[in-house]
Every structure is written in C-alpha cells, then in structure tokens.
A and B are shown apart, each in its own frame.
Chain A
C-alpha cells in the first residue's frame, strides 16, 4: 500500500544534541510537509517542500532545518534541541499544482523526548 513512513517512531535525545527525523513516501507526491504537534494542540506547520523548493514558515526557529534529497525522502534536523522542542513531529504529503487543494496524507509521527 502507498504510504507515508516515519522513522523512528520514538526518539530520545539529550538537550543540545543534534537529532534527525526521517520521512519517506511511496505516493510520489510532490509536496512534503513537517508539522510540530504538542500535546492537545493543533499541528503547527514548520516548513514544506514543493518539489525541490523549500518554504519556511516565518515563525519556525532557525534551530529547525530540513533536507529533501529526492522525491521520496525528507528529513527534519534539529540542531540543538531544547526542552521546548519535545513534541510529536508529523510528516505529510500531498499532490497539487496548487497548495491547499488536495488532502494531506500523514505519517504516524515521531515522538521526540528531550532529556
């Protein structure tokens, strides 16, 4: 089945130690998103890729970076995690010549704990 896969499902890192979360998709969608979701809150968009074009949200901290080496894979790098970065990180994909037209397909998320 076509799907969005996130690895690992659970990640524990130390304060200030860089961490990378990965996402892969078999849907061949051209748009990939990264969201941060804290407990009982709405998913907050960090950035998205439209093909190779990177689009950062204005309020996304510089501590968060992303890479998309090819259509299938996208990575979220947190350069110096703080306690406030502990959250669920959701990867999603969508089709779309125009953003916001098509539904997003979500991965199961990576729960990040910062100690």
Chain B
C-alpha cells in the first residue's frame, strides 16, 4: 500500500529565514508524482509544488523548492525567505494519499 509520512507535526521559522519540511513515502510504482499542498487557516488547500519522479532535477517554484531523493523515497520542501503568509498546514501527497501534515508557524 502507498503511504506518506510527515514526521514533523509542527515547525516554526523566523520571517525571512529558511525552513525545510520533511516527507517520506512508499510506493510500488516506477513512474509517479509527488506534491506539496498548502492549507492556510480557514482557506482551501492549494498546490505548492509538483515533482515528477522520473525527473532528476528538483522542482522549484519561486521561494519553494524540493529535495527529491528517489532512492531514499524522501521528498522535502524548502521554503526560502519565509513570509507571514506562508503560515499554514503543509501536506505532502503521492497519488491520492496525504501525509498527516506539518503546521508551519512564521514568527515576525
């Protein structure tokens, strides 16, 4: 069965600093996709970044980037220059399976 694990229930970062959220997964598929979603308080979930497993290059979207380690089945999200608006729950996902989420707090 596919599983997604986020081992950090909560993380905190100072505004303008960098933070990394961890995610590991398990899949029997050889070709798959991984996602990070952001769920702000009382707002809908939106896509942050998407990674194709067959691409060796790590995906990047502005201040958001991933460190994809296929052999280790690790897919971490790095947020650079953190902003107050980054405060949210972050979910890692593979196919239709989601991790338990990491609550990110950004301190001014």
Query: Which of the candidate stretches B11-19, B40-48, B65-73 sits at the interface with the other chain?
Result: B40-48
Decide if A100 touches B101 in the complex (CB within 8 Å).
no
Q: Which residues of B contact A44 (CB under 8 A)?
A: 98
Q: Which residues of A contact B35 (CB under 8 A)?
A: 103-104
Decide if B44 touches A42 in the complex (CB within 8 Å).
no
Given A40-B101, A100-B32, A103-B50, do A33 and B96 touch, yes or no (CB 8 Å)? Answer: yes
The 8 Å CB contact of B94, one of A92, A100, A109, is A100
Decide if B91 touches A43 in the complex (CB within 8 Å).
yes
Decide if B43 touches A99 in the complex (CB within 8 Å).
no
Chain A positions 86-101 with a Cβ under 8 Å from a chain B Cβ: 90, 92, 99-101
Chain B residues touching A, range: 20 to 34
Q: Which residues of B contact A45 (CB under 8 A)?
A: 96-97
Decide if A106 touches B44 in the complex (CB within 8 Å).
yes
Decide if B33 touches A101 in the complex (CB within 8 Å).
yes
Does residue A81 face the partner (Cβ distance < 8 Å to B)? no
Query: What's the Cα separation between A58 and B35 when bound, in Å?
Result: 23
The 4 closest A-B pairs by CB, nearest first: A100-B95, A42-B98, A106-B45, A103-B47
Given A42-B99, A108-B44, 18 additional A-B pairs, CB 8 A: A40-B103, A41-B100, A41-B101, A42-B91, A42-B98, A42-B101, A43-B98, A48-B96, A92-B45, A99-B95, A100-B94, A100-B96, A103-B35, A104-B35, A104-B47, A105-B47, A107-B44, A109-B44
**A residues in contact (CB < 8 Å) with B:** 4, 33, 40-45, 48, 90, 92, 99-109
Can you list 25 A-B contacts with CB-CB less than 8 angstroms, sorted by A residue number? A4-B44, A33-B96, A40-B103, A42-B4, A42-B91, A42-B99, A43-B91, A44-B98, A48-B96, A99-B95, A99-B96, A100-B33, A100-B94, A101-B33, A102-B33, A103-B35, A103-B47, A103-B50, A104-B35, A104-B37, A104-B47, A106-B37, A107-B44, A108-B44, A109-B44
